[in-house]
Amino acid sequence: MKNRNIVWHEHRLNKSDRASLKKQKPCILWFTGLSGSGKSTIANRVEEMLFEMGRHTYLLDGDNIRSGLNKDLGFGKEDRVENIRRIAEVAKLFVDAGIIVLTAFISPYRSERDSVRESVEEGEFIEVFVDTPLDVCESRDPKGLYKKARAGEIPNFTGIDSDYEAPKNPEIILNTIHMSIDESAQKVIDYLKERGYING
C-alpha cells in the first residue's frame, strides 16, 4: 500500500478561521453541461461579479486544468473519472482555504459529481447545471469540436459518442436559451446571497 506511512497533519488555523477573515462561506460552484453550453463564460461572469463585491474566489476551468495538472490524461472513461477526482481534491483545498471556488467542467458522469459532493461538508457543493440542448451547443460550436467529432477526428466526445448524464437535482439550473449570460450569473449570485454564502 503506497500511503501506509502518511499521517494527516492538523493545522492550528482551520477552514472557519480562514472563511471568517474573508467574510464569506466557502463552497464549490460546480458548473456542468455539454461542451458549448456556456459553462466557462457564465462561471467567468460569476467570478467577475464576486470580485467586484470584494469576494475571494478562484476559477478552475477544464481546458486550463488539462494544460497543466491533468495534461497526462486522455478522454476515455477512466481518465475522465481521474480528471474529476483530481479537480475535486484541488477544489477541496480551496474550500479549506475559505475560498469560493468555481469549476467549469463537462463532468459527464453523475456518479463522479455525486462523489465530489460527498467528499465535502453538507452545503459546500453547489451543482450548477448549464442546461443547453445538444443541437444548440452544436450550432454554437465555439471551438469547432463538434465538427471534428462528427468527422470522427475526436473519439469519446460527450454528446456525440460518449454519454452525458444530466443532474437529477441540481441546486441551480441555468437555461441559456431563455437567459442571457448576465441573467444566468445573477441567478447564481442571488442563490449565494439568499443562502448566506455572501452578504450584500
At 143-173, the pLDDT tens digits run 888 888 888 888 888 888 888 999 999 999 9
CA angle 119-111-38, nearest 5°?
Answer: 95
* Tens digit of each residue's pLDDT (9 = 90 or more) over 23-61: 899 999 999 999 999 999 999 999 999 999 999 999 998
pTM of the predicted structure, to 2 decimals: 0.87
Instruction: Please list, in sequence order, all residues whose beta carbon lies within 8 angstroms of the beta carbon of residue 106, skipping any fewer than 6 positions away.
Output: 32, 33, 34, 35, 39, 62, 158, 164
Reading the block at residue 34, the C-alpha cell is: 455539454
Is 107 assigned a catalytic role?
A: yes
Higher local confidence (pLDDT), 9 or 161 = 161
Q: Which CATH architecture has domain 26-194?
A: 3-Layer(aba) Sandwich (3.40)
Q: What is the DSSP letter of 126?
A: E
Annotated catalytic residue: which of 40, 107, 162, 184?
Answer: 107
**How far, in Å, CA of 137 to CA of 36, rounded?**
5
Chain-centroid distance, C-alpha 52 = 21
Q: Which residue has the cell 461542451?
A: 35
Which stretches of the chain are DSSP H helices?
Answer: 15-22, 39-52, 62-66, 77-96, 110-119, 134-140, 145-150, 181-194
Q: Is the pLDDT of residue 66 over 90?
A: no
Spatial strand order of the sheet with 172-174 comes to 57-61, 100-104, 27-32, 125-130, 172-174
Q: Which of 167, 166, 84, 172 is nearest to 128 (CA)?
A: 172
* Tens digit of each residue's pLDDT (9 = 90 or more) over 95-138: 999 999 999 988 889 998 999 999 999 999 999 999 999 999 99
Q: Residue 158 in contact with residue 108, Cβ under 8 Å?
A: yes
Longest dimension (CA), the chain: 55
